[in-house]
Amino acid sequence: MTKPELTLYLAAPRGFCAGVVRAIKIVEMALEKWGPPVYVRHEIVHNKFVVDGLRDKGAVFVERLADCPDDRPVIFSAHGVPKAVPAAAAKRDMIYVDATCPLVSKVHIEAERHSQNGLQMVMIGHEGHPETVGTMGQLPDGEVLLVETAEDVATLDVRDPERLAYITQTTLSIDDTAGIVAALKARFPSIIGPHKEDICYATTNRQHAVKQMAPDCDALLVIGAPNSSNSQRLVEVGAAAGCPYSQLVQRAHDIDWRALDGIKSVGLTAGASAPEVLIDEVIAAFRDRYDVKVEMVETAQENVEFKVPRALREPA
């Protein structure tokens, strides 16, 4: 039987960003240097396939430092941790390696600098997300106020409206964040923003690619984990840009083929913690069912690379 024709628009950039590549490499190098088990506080990145692969090599994933023994190395995830966590590890004389993405660390440094200058911080982010928890945990309680929506700005109770600065989670929707920033500036005209946008290059690039292809797609599939903020934002961006069916899938077996019945074009992208092998798996699943023509939608080229910590580059 003849397969129906389908155009598959493949976003570029997509998938792994430099911070994710670095974080995974840190776990792999730690396993090589110290042998298993190596403990990782929280999922190193938000992707089950990646985490399961590292677990098979000897990584042990825990949610609390208290669940780690004193005599084994521990790695802090790419999302960052509150200051109290490395302090507690140092107090226990643990070997620890910080895999926080350098672009998240930049936000941490920014928050500390503003605080030292006497400013109270407003953080735009998602409550409970590990990156938000880690960033707010860089300063004492009460020094960072969280807003999730433009509506939240109206109820902010600040210490001094003339002494404020704002920072953002690195994986937010560019458009949604712009609306919150506008609300902050309208209510607090003196508020200071970051020198350079806190939303990271990878989040920005992936959202731009989705915006460009979404109007031409009958459906958009984003490969990523449900707890991946940047992946969830890609789904929302696709829907807002005009794609009638925008969905998150973790693997090819998650695709709802009945929902795609009769379609002629599909956009395909992946969150920053999803490996290329999962994209290849989804493309193969489409080729099984359709006569596929792949068209690349490239909106940027990425050549960013982050070094791993010196502790891992030195011999044991």
Residue positions annotated with a catalytic role: 131
Beta strands in the chain (DSSP E): 5-12, 38-41, 59-62, 74-76, 96-98, 120-124, 144-147, 164-168, 219-223, 246-249, 265-270, 291-298
Three-class SS state of 238 = helix
Residue type, 42: H
Residues 101, 152 contacting (CB under 8 angstroms): no
How far apart CA 115 and CA 117 sit, in angstroms, is: 5
How far apart CA 235 and CA 243 sit, in angstroms, is: 10
Edge-to-edge order in the sheet of strand 164-168? 144-147, 120-124, 164-168
Residue whose structure tokens are 């807002």: 240
Three-class SS state of 190 = coil
CA angle 73, 75, 77 (to 5 degrees): 170
DSSP classification of residue 65: G
